[in-house]
Amino acid sequence: MAISDTKARKAQPGEKPYRVPDSEGLYLDVRPSGKKFWRVRYFIHGKERIFTVGQYPVVRLAQAREERDWVKVTAARGVDPVEAYKAQQAAERSAAEDSFATIAMEWYSRQEAHWTEYYASQVKKGLEREMIPAFGHKHISQVTAADVLKVMRAAEERGAPTVANLVRQWCGAIYQYAASTLRAEHDPSAPLRRAVSKPPVRHARALTPEQLRELVVSIPEKGGYRLTQIAMEVLMRTMLRTGEMRQGRWEEIHWMRAEWHIPADKMKRRRPHVVPLPQQVVVLLQELHEYTGNGEMMFPGLRDPRQPMAKTTINGRLRHMGWAGLFTGHGFRATASTLLNQHGWRGDVIERQLAHTPGDKVRASYNHADYLDERRKMLQWWSDYIDALTLKRDAPPVPDRMSG
C-alpha cells in the first residue's frame, strides 16, 4: 500500500531502523534518532543499489516520487543514478567556482595592489554595478558577446560612453586572466572593440595668468572651510594630482628637508615621488598641522577623519566658486605646466615634477629624486609667481641655467 504524507508524518522511531514502503522501490527509512529519509531501491547491471533522495519533511512525498522516477529512468539507460548525481553536483560546484563573478573578483583582488585607490574603486564599481548584476551568475564560458554588448549599450544610452568602453576593457582583462588559469578559451569582448565610439579626450584646461589671479584671490572668501582652502593652495603650488594630495599622511612630510615623500603605491605611475616644498607651502602645512596634526591624514574627511578628504570636495568647491564647466582640480597641473613652459623652465624638469614617466626606459630607471635641486628652485619660483600675480607685481626672474 502506497504511503501518504499523513502516514509519513506519524511514523515514530523504534529501537531499530525500519522502512515504510511506498511504491516502485521508494520507501521512508525511519531511524532510531527520529530522522526520516526517502530512499529508492534500484538495480544497475544486475546489482541492487540504494539512492538517498533526501530527508523528510524537507523533501515532501510528491518530490520524493519525482526523484524516484528520475532514478528509475536513469538506471534503465544503464547509468548509475548515484554516479550521475555526483557528476551533476560536481558540475554545479564547478559552475559556481568558475562563474564570471567569482573569477572577476579573483582577478580584481590580484590586481588591486597595482592600482591607485581611485582606479581600484572605479573598477570595483564597474564590476558590482555593471557586469556582475548582468551576467555574473553565468559560467565564465557561457558569457556571450551579446551579454557584454547589452551592458555597454545601457551605459552608452545613459550618457556614459567612457564607462561602456571600460566595461569592454575590464572584461577583456578578466578573460585574459581566466585563460591564463585555464578556465576560459574565448573572450566575448574581443569583437566589441568599436561597438561604442570613444568620447573625445578632454584635456584639463589651463588658466591664463589673469584667470589664475582671479581664482587665487577668491579662495579666502569663497573657498569654504579653511581645510579646503589650504588643500587648493597646496594643490596649486605643488603640481600634485588631487588624489595624491588628499591621501597625504603626516608621516610623509620631512620638515627639516622641506620635502613631501609620496610612496609608490599612491602614485599613478607606481614610482615614489619627492615634492620639494616651497616656503609658502611649508607655512600652509604648519597651519594645517594645527588642525589635523593629531591624526594620520593631512586632509581628513569631514565624516571620518581616518579617511582622506572626499575626491569631490575640491571640484565641488570650485563649482560653488563659479568655475563649473570651466576648471577642475586637475587643471592646476595644466596651468602650472603651461605657465612654467611659457616662462622658459626646462621641459624635463616640469615633466619630472608632474611625475610623468619618461618614454625612454633608461631615463625611467633614474633615481626618483632626479632634478630635485632644479625642481626645488622651480616650485619656489612658481609659488613666488602666484604671490606676485595676487599682488599685481611682475613675475620673478627665471635663473638663466634653469631655462630650456
Task: Give the catalytic positions in this structure.
Answer: 241, 268, 330, 333, 356, 366
| 281's grid cell | 607651502
Give the pairing type, strands 36-44 and 273-276.
unpaired
DSSP state of 345: B
List CB contacts of 75: < 8 A, sequence separation 6 or more.
Answer: 42, 43, 44, 81
- Distance of alpha carbon 179 from alpha carbon 163, whole angstroms: 24
Packing angle between helix 209-222 and helix 226-238, nearest 10 degrees? 160
Tell me which residue of 131, 197, 193, 211 sits closest to 162, measured CA to CA.
197
Closest CA to 188 of 133, 138, 249, 233: 138
For residue 42, the cross-strand partners are 49
CB 164 within 8 Å of CB 156? yes
Side-chain-side CA neighbours of 188 within 13 Å: the count stands at 21
Q: Is the peptide bond before 32 cis (omega within 30 degrees of 0)?
A: no
Spatial CA neighbour of 103 closest among 67, 142, 69: 142
| Helix (H) or strand (E) run with residue 215 in it | helix 209-222
Q: Letter for the amino acid at 111?
A: Q
